Amino acid sequence: MTTYSAVRTTGIYCRPGCGAKPLAENVRTFELAAAAETAGYRACLRCRPYRVAGAVADTAPELVCRAVQLIINGLLDESTEAAVGHRLGISARHLRRMFHDHLGVTPDGFARSRRAHFARRLLDDSDLSIAEVAFAAGFGSLRQFNRAMREVFRSAPSELRDRRRRGDRLTADGGLLLRMPFTAPYDWDAVLGLLAVRAVPGVESVEAGTYRRTITLDGAPGMVEIGAGGADHLLLRAHLPYWEGVIHVVERAGRLVGVDQDTAAAAAHLAGDPLLGPLIAARPGLRVPGAWGPFEIAVNAVTGDVGRLVRRHGAPVDGLGHGLTHAFPAAEVLAEEHGTVGALARAVLANEVRLDGGEALDDLVASLRAVPGVTETAAHEVALRLGARDAFPVPGVDAAAWRPYRALAATHLFHRNKSFSSPYAMAASSES
């Protein structure tokens, strides 16, 4: 977990490892940078805390985690805290109270901080203009952008751009190159192996240490590439038709590879288990794989020939190489299919199955199981990939002692049993 230290006498907050040596009695700690900013502190210019992952702790209540997922998915971009509360079945006041108690910031403040921190990274990493940075980070106007940056960083965007260091700017022969910070330890090779097993033919590719996939933005095709970067970050290269709203591309990519996860509490809970303890010790940086497209994940979980569906219904994308040939078909297209896939698509379109991260685990599993042909294992696989920390798509294993972190347990079990053709359809081994 990243813990930020804020100094009362200077009004500055720092990331772990900063060289500043304030007196202990002058220091407050915060689990989120957004909480430090809400309390009136500004980011240190030396250690630049906006360049670390800053994930929400996995000890936070499930309802808060679901709300965070909805915010990251963009629900607050054009809506209000009341809409987030309504989606979760609670009032806006109760939502704000829970955020204050567990995160130290309001939902609006959390969303604003994420946008401001992402914009600050763009100012460092890229040569996008100030206006392009504003809209890439999800701000609705330059005025809103300038106001938020002054509130969070006490400086105008142009002044922040002037402060970037010589080694900050990333150069690429094509596309937009950005750092994706994570909290160590993080095991890119292990995560990449998990993604490779379930890669959708024609849509996803894993080769030579790099993950690639096709994407669409408002119907226009693009591609993202993710590979190793440094000790505290991966590198994302985005080939997009435009830069507006690129924050959501980066956040979806981060969710896919798990850089937004804080697994400290889960690992500590499971470390004493005789089966899981050695696995966690061997791979402490393993993360639960997430999802780029929730509907894509659901379809992949319920069919054994997702490649055929892509070839038949996916929009062709030419010239990408690396085996990337199609965009994944939308629910509207697959709704015409027969069988489980068609029934699933129709249920998603009718909001009978909601894949936006706002559903409780039991509710999501129940709605998926109501679709003819969807098994309990498949439903839990979908839930796991959508971020449900207690999802457990491993039949035949008594996992009660691993609650509420069974998703991480399942991921370690699969990594151990990587020879299975389907990652979660495995029987209990003699060790369990």
What string of DSSP letters covers 80-131?
-HHHHHHHHTS-HHHHHHHHHHHTSS-HHHHHHHHHHHHHHHHHHH----HH
What residue has token string 């892509």? 310
Q: Is the pLDDT of residue 423 over 90?
A: no
45-59 average pLDDT score: 87
DSSP 377: H
Average pLDDT, the chain: 92
Q: Is the pLDDT of residue 421 over 60?
A: no
- The proportion of the chain whose per-residue pLDDT surpasses 90, expressed as a percent, equals 81
What residue has token string 């080694």? 167
pTM for the complete prediction?
0.91
Q: Is the pLDDT of residue 422 over 70?
A: no
Task: Calculate Rg over the CA atoms of the chain.
Answer: 21
The answer to whether the beta carbons of residues 2 and 13 sit under 8 Å apart is no
The predicted-structure confidence for 304-313, as pLDDT tens digits, reads as follows 899 999 999 9
- Going by pLDDT thresholds of 50, 70 and 90, the confidence category of residue 54 is confident
pLDDT confidence of residue 430: 31
Q: Is the pLDDT of residue 218 over 90?
A: no
- Which range in 163-167, 217-221, 351-355 is most confidently predicted, on average pLDDT? 351-355
256-280 average pLDDT score: 95
The answer to whether the beta carbons of residues 131 and 138 sit under 8 Å apart is no
Cα 7 to Cα 21: distance, rounded to the nearest angstrom: 10
Q: Is the pLDDT of residue 21 over 70?
A: yes
The answer to whether the beta carbons of residues 424 and 410 sit under 8 Å apart is yes
The predicted-structure confidence for 308-340, as pLDDT tens digits, reads as follows 999 999 999 998 999 999 999 999 999 999 999
pLDDT confidence of residue 427: 33
Q: Is the pLDDT of residue 426 over 80?
A: no
Give φ, ψ of 273 to 5 degrees: -75, 135
- Going by pLDDT thresholds of 50, 70 and 90, the confidence category of residue 420 is very low
- How is the beta sheet containing 176-181 ordered, strand by strand? 176-181, 233-239, 220-230, 210-217, 204-207
pLDDT confidence of residue 419: 39
Q: Is the pLDDT of residue 172 over 70?
A: no
- Going by pLDDT thresholds of 50, 70 and 90, the confidence category of residue 253 is very high
Q: Which of 327, 308, 305, 307 is nearest to 316 (CA)?
A: 327
Q: Please identify, in words, the CATH class of the domain defined by 176-416.
A: alpha beta
Q: Is the pLDDT of residue 396 over 90?
A: no
85-99 average pLDDT score: 96
49-60 average pLDDT score: 87
What residue has token string 């940075």? 133
The answer to whether the beta carbons of residues 383 and 364 sit under 8 Å apart is yes
Determine the 3-state secondary structure of 313 from DSSP. helix
Q: Is the pLDDT of residue 18 over 90?
A: no
Q: Which of 70, 76, 98, 81 is nearest to 357 (CA)?
A: 70
Q: Is the pLDDT of residue 250 over 90?
A: yes
The answer to whether the beta carbons of residues 394 and 411 sit under 8 Å apart is no
Cα 406 to Cα 270: distance, rounded to the nearest angstrom: 9
Q: Which residue has the higher pLDDT, 170 or 107?
A: 107
Cα 255 to Cα 69: distance, rounded to the nearest angstrom: 10
48-68 average pLDDT score: 90
Q: Which residue has the higher pLDDT, 174 or 56?
A: 56
Residues 6+ apart with CB under 8 A from 308: none
Kind and range of the H or E element at 333? Answer: helix 331-334
Q: Is the pLDDT of residue 297 over 60?
A: yes
- Going by pLDDT thresholds of 50, 70 and 90, the confidence category of residue 1 is low
Structural domain spans, the chain? 176-416
Cα 86 to Cα 82: distance, rounded to the nearest angstrom: 6
157-182 average pLDDT score: 88
